[in-house]
Structure 1
Amino acid sequence: MDIRGIDHIELFVGDARQAAFYFDRAVGFQLLGQGGPETGLADQRSLLLSQGDVRMVLTTGLTAGHPASRYVQRHGDGVAVVALEVDDAAGAYAELVRRGAAGVTPPTTRTGADTEVVTAEVGGFGDVRHRLVSRHGDRGEFLPGAIEMIPSDGGGKLLAEIDHLAVCVPPGQLDETVRHYRDVFGFAEIFTEHVEVAGQAMNSTVVQSGSGRVTLVLLEPDRSRRPGQLDAFLDQHVGAGVQHLGLRTDDIVTAVAALAERGVRFAGTPASYYDALEARVGPVDAPLERLRDLGVLVDRDHGGQLLQIFTESMHVRRTLFLELIERRGARTFGSGNIKALYEAKERELAAAGTTVAAPTPQEVRA
């Protein structure tokens, strides 16, 4: 079974039009298609948006019993489906169920004038499903007969693709989730670490498809330490889910400046973080003052540097947020910034002569 990449993600939201307005006006996505009862999507309204190679479906249930309505009631707005591109959706579904995946929706075929799309769904983590998608023929149609396409150039080009999804699971479930993706989906473990700072701790394991195009950063809080942002996510989201979407950009400085001008709010970074930046990661091929103004973070691994920044959550429960990431050879995910941000905040407090309780990483970023 060859998992080629992420075909699309689907968010279940309370108001698809309102969510689309934010992703369009603020983040630079563009409407590609829409569907609802009039196109055979019973009891729901779905909007298809795109930017670069990122395709996103926003779905709102129109009745209380619709799965999207139940999801939003329990979790709030969030990623409900991570769709995987495969050669043969029907064959992949059968193979995954044989390996132990929970079958959710058996294979369904939709045909258009010049295209055929086969989909099926299996369980993933928490209430998040994986939709298996195989496409044949003209790829201009997303879901023939269900999503009516709208002429579009695909929106802005600030964001290139989905780099990774960060998934938070309850304490004690990390190893089980890793085994599930390894044994059922054939993913490989490529990175693991234990992060401890300011009395908080978390475990992290990164799993990746054989193609290298689907990456899940699996996170678990260590509840033997004091609560932090992962605990807050699990409480507000009510269980496992996608904590943030990592969106790769080829030029993070331009992207952050453009999105900030459109109204996207980014997590703050202490000014003193940049005082020790080049001593920690080496020379950065970007003006430090510009990085300081925008709040862009920098980390390094054996492959090179990465630049990253996190948005504030746009949701009322303060759960799902976005990460913009530019890779300059680095293959990891910036864990060095957690400690660096904490130490920068400590220097600021010491310089001001302030004695207060140590901040959590979430408080540092806020």
Structure 2
Amino acid sequence: MRTSIATVSLSGPLSEKLTAVAAAGFDGVEIFENDLLAGPLSPEEVRLRCADLGLSIDLYQPFRDFEAVPERLADGLRRAERKFDVMERLGADLLLVCSSVAADAVDDDELAAAHLRLLAERAERRGIRIAYEALAWGRNVSTYDHAWRIVERADHPALGTCLDSFHILSRGSDVKGIADIPGEKIFFLQLADAPLMAMDVLQWSRHYRCFPGQGGFDVAGLVAAAVGAGYAGPLSLEVFNDVFRQAGAASTAVDALRSLLLLEESAALSTPPAPAVPSGFAFAELAAADTEPLRGVLAALGFGRTGRHTSKPVELWEQGEARILLNTGAGDRRTGPELTAVGVESPDPDRAARRAEAMLAPVVPRRRAEGDAPLDAVAAPDGTELFFCRTGRSDHPSWTGDFTGVPQSGSAEPAGIRRIDHIALTQPWHQFDEASLFYRGVLGLEGDDSLDLADPYGLRRSRAVATADGAVRIALNVAPAPGGNDTRLQHIALATDDIVATARRIRERGAGLLPIPANYYDDLDARYALDPQLLATLAACGILYDRDGEGEFFHCYTATVGRVFFELVQRVGGYRGYGAQNAAVRLAAQHTQLHGV
């Protein structure tokens, strides 16, 4: 289906918004009146600009407080004629009319229908149609089925309805009734998702809408109902969001179109390459101008340096199935080591790459020497590179073949680490929702609910995405505000079957684990009444504990080097979480370690 987006969904002046919309690949645009009024371009210039960019102008909006306000009918008709003048100059032929919120609006469907029919008659003479929409906070008309009854009563060919997913789903309306609306009378379909919140619907709408797939609404079900009823117009996004209004228009537009591509797939309207759901982590790559501190940590953790890349300044460190790459030719001395790339084990790397490109993931250009394995990589929204691998398989070149053996370096004795359990990435504040949608869309991961984690300086949002079997888990976090290095920390969680033995071995080798306050263990005893010997062992090793109805979780942390630290985890039973209950303690302890408080 054709795609469109309201200019109110993006930041910046109208000319920049149009450029971003076209560059992302949209077919059309809704012109939000305020964007036109505040800009220097005349309606004719906007029309030409859209034509040059290959964009249709699908809707002009909004027109407010018209129907069933009898004392202001003449004024409403005068306003409408002026809007029609502007629309003719723009080349737009569809006007959105919102249900009245005026205090003097009359609760009279017959009167509302008569007024809308009068408006439609005037619009038809100008080659314009009217799409009537029920605002969720409309004074007398607040549901889509009520709006449709008024349109049906008005009975004019130039009058139809606009279905808006936020207004419909925020009120909990049943979308089954959409089947009763003839498809040709659904003039427009506006789409937005939103997190499920208990708050005033007007404030909810103006500040917290998001793109489909980033919230809790069943937008795909609504789209399927509208298309099933015969709707054949564009899928158009109308999102009011404080974060989007401050983020760059170009990246937001790409995120927006990706959401529509995934929505079309969910509603069975398109068939992009299916996700090649990964089966595990192949590697995590750390880049540092000075890698000696990381080498020391890896050696203490029981990793051994097993290879060096044949053409790049990259070392391979391994323990069990956990592989860490150290890139000595990159990194920022000011911030120290950082996590720059993640490799995932893919059942079909070629299909994974095609899926990623279909979901608008930018391909990472690679300098490949003769004989290097053909690894495909795309960039996540925060710049982290994502590689699709098949390690040690005969049916696909293995990236490990690019590494030659070197004399064993580091610990000769493993510490019990088996594999990478999860990766945690702190996102720029304006890309949190985009990142969640990216990993779900590109890798086919499933998203958990968003959480707020207590931090010494505010709240951090966190959301995990993972495969159904937990083989790949990625925790996405956003710091409370832009700030120092500790607000952008990343970490690699390593799985062990005996965290106590692993922690003791690491400490014996001189690696510091993050000190945890005694107060935490007093509270742990109060909450769970653990065996006293186990509690003492946890306290002595700095291990944190959590459990739920499925199992238990033990975890501890190394000291931070640059932007990176390691977490050791042991999962018992079916525990699938990340120890969120302990996040506040960990964050406070890290702040103490980094700042010496």
TM-score by length of 1: 0.75
Paired with 2:533 and 2:576, the residues of 1 have a C-alpha distance of 19
Q: Choose which of 146, 163, 168 in structure 1 pairs with 2:426.
A: 168
Please name the residue that 1:313 is paired with. 560
In the alignment, which residue of structure 2 is the partner of 1:82? 342
Contact 1:50 1:154 (C-alpha < 8 Å) held by counterparts: no
- Which ranges in structure 1 are unaligned for 5 or more consecutive residues? 62-67, 343-358
The match for 1:179 among 433, 437, 445 is: 437
C-alpha distance in 2 between matches for 1:275 and 1:140: 52
Matched, 1:292 2:539: yes
Quick check: 2:415–2:506 contact (8 Å CA) kept in 1?
A: no
Question: Residues of 2 paired with 1:168 and 1:284: CA distance?
Answer: 35
Letter in 2 for 1:101: A
Q: Structure 1 221/47 Cα, relative in aligned 2: closer, same or farther at 3 Å? A: closer
Query: Does the 8 A contact of 2:277 with 2:443 survive in 1?
Result: no
Q: Distance in 2 between matches of 1:156 and 1:140?
A: 28
Is the counterpart of residue 28 in structure 1 residue 302 in structure 2? yes
User: What is the CA–CA distance in structure 2 between the aligned matches of 1:127 and 1:284, rounded to whole Å?
Assistant: 45
Contact 1:168 1:234 in 2 (8 A): no
Higher helix share: 2
Residue 306 (structure 1) shift: 0.9
Please give the alpha-carbon distance, in whole angstroms, between the structure 2 residues aligned to 1:88 and 1:257. Answer: 40
The 1-side partners of 2:531 and 2:571 are apart by 13
Residue 365 of structure 2 corresponds to residue 105 of structure 1: yes
The answer to whether structure 1 residue 232 and structure 2 residue 484 are counterparts is yes
Structure 2 vs 1, CA of residues 299 and 34 (structure 1 numbering), >3 Å: closer, same or farther? same
Residue among 387, 400, 404 paired with 1:148: 404
- C-alpha change, 1:157 and 1:360, in structure 2 (3 Å) is closer
The answer to whether the 8 Å contact 1:207/1:217 transfers is yes
1:95 aligns with 2:355: yes
Secondary structure of the residue aligned to 2:279 is strand
2:43 aligned residue: none
* Distance in 2 between residues matched to 1:214 and 1:299, nearest whole Å: 21
C-alpha spacing 1:331/1:211, structure 2 compared with 1 (3 Å): closer
Pairing 1:245–2:513 present: no
SS across alignment from 2:502: helix
Measured in 2, the distance between the counterparts of 1:205 and 1:261 equals 35
Deviation larger for 284-293 or 133-142: 133-142
Q: CA deviation at 1:19?
A: 5.0
Partners of 2:517 and 2:338 in 1: how far apart?
29
> 1:75 deviation in Å?
4.7
| Superposition deviation, residue 51 in structure 1 | 0.6
Q: What is the aligned partner in structure 1 of residue 327 from structure 2?
A: 59
Alignment of 1:263-342 (within 5 A): 263-283=510-530, 287-315=534-562, 319-329=563-573, 330-338=575-583, 341=585
Q: Is the 8 A contact 1:108 1:120 kept in 2?
A: no
Q: Which residue of 2 aligns with 1:212?
A: 470
- State the Cα deviation string for residues 139-184 of structure 1 (Å, max 9, x = none): 997533x311348799514211111111111223211211111223
Q: Which amino acid aligns with 1:205?
A: R
| CA separation of 1:234 and 1:252: change in aligned 2, threshold 3 A | closer
Are residue 130 (structure 1) and residue 398 (structure 2) matched? no
Q: What does residue 332 of structure 2 align with?
A: 72
Q: How big is the shift at 1:15? A: 3.7
Larger Rg: 2
| 3-state secondary structure, aligned to 2:385 | strand
Distance 1:199 1:45 in 2: 38
Tell me the distance in 1 between the aligned counterparts of 2:389 and 2:369: 10
C-alpha distance 361-6 of structure 1, shift in aligned 2 (>3 A): same
In structure 2, the CA distance between the partners of 1:130 and 1:156, relative to structure 1 (3 Å rule), is same
Please tell me the residue identity of whatever aligns with 2:315: L
Structure 1 residue runs of 4 or more that deviate by more than 6 Å after TM superposition? 106-112, 138-141, 151-154
Q: Which residue of 2 aligns with 1:352?
A: none
Structure 2: how far apart are the matches of 1:248 and 1:293? 20
Q: Which amino acid aligns with 2:347?
A: D
Answering whether residue 465 of structure 2 is matched by residue 190 of structure 1, we say: no
- Is the alpha carbon distance of 1:142 and 1:268 closer, same or farther for their aligned partners in structure 2, counting shifts above 3 Å? same
The CA distance in 2 between the partners of 1:279 and 1:243, in whole Å, is 31
Q: CA deviation at 1:30?
A: 0.8
Q: Percent identity?
A: 26
In the aligned structure 2, how far is the partner of 1:336 from the partner of 1:205? 14
Q: 2:504 — aligned with what?
A: 257
| Among 450, 461, 468, the residue aligned to 1:203 | 461
CA deviation digits over 1:71-120, x for unaligned, max 9?
435753111110111133233212211111111137979869xxxx5411
Cα distance in structure 1, aligned partners of 2:459 and 2:548:
21
Q: How many residues align?
A: 315
Distance change (3 Å), C-alpha of 1:101 and 1:141 = closer
Contact residue 29 and residue 156 of structure 1 kept, 8 A: yes
CA distance in 1, matches of 2:533, 2:572: 12
Distance (whole Å) between structure 2 residues aligned to residue 363 and residue 23 of structure 1: 19
Partners in 2 of 1:19 and 1:361 — Cα distance?
Answer: 20
Q: Is 1:268–1:364's contact at 8 Å kept on the other side of the alignment?
A: no
The 1:111–1:296 alpha-carbon spacing in structure 2 relative to 1, beyond 3 Å, is: same
* Rounded Cα–Cα distance in structure 1 between residues aligned with 2:415 and 2:332: 30
Deviations 1:26-82 (A, max 9, x none): 1210121113xxx3x1xx422111011101111112xxxxxx2xx435753111110
Please identify, of 262-271 and 101-110, the stretch whose mean Cα deviation from structure 2 is larger: 101-110
Is the 8 Å Cα contact of residues 90 and 119 (structure 1) preserved in structure 2?
no
Structure number with the bigger relative contact order (C-alpha 8 A, sep ≥ 6) is 1
CA RMSD of aligned residues (A): 3.2
* Offset of residue 221 of structure 1: 2.7
How far apart are the structure 2 equivalents of 1:303 and 1:126? 33
**Structure 1 counterpart of 2:440, one-letter code:** R
How far has the Cα of 1:125 moved from its partner? Answer: 3.7
One-letter identity of the residue aligned with 1:26: A
Q: Which structure carries more strand by proportion?
A: 1
SS of aligned partner of 1:182:
helix
What is the rounded CA distance, in whole Å, between the counterparts of 1:360 and 1:288 in structure 2? 21
Q: Classify 1:234/1:77 alpha carbon distance in 2 versus 1 (closer, same or farther; 3 Å).
A: same
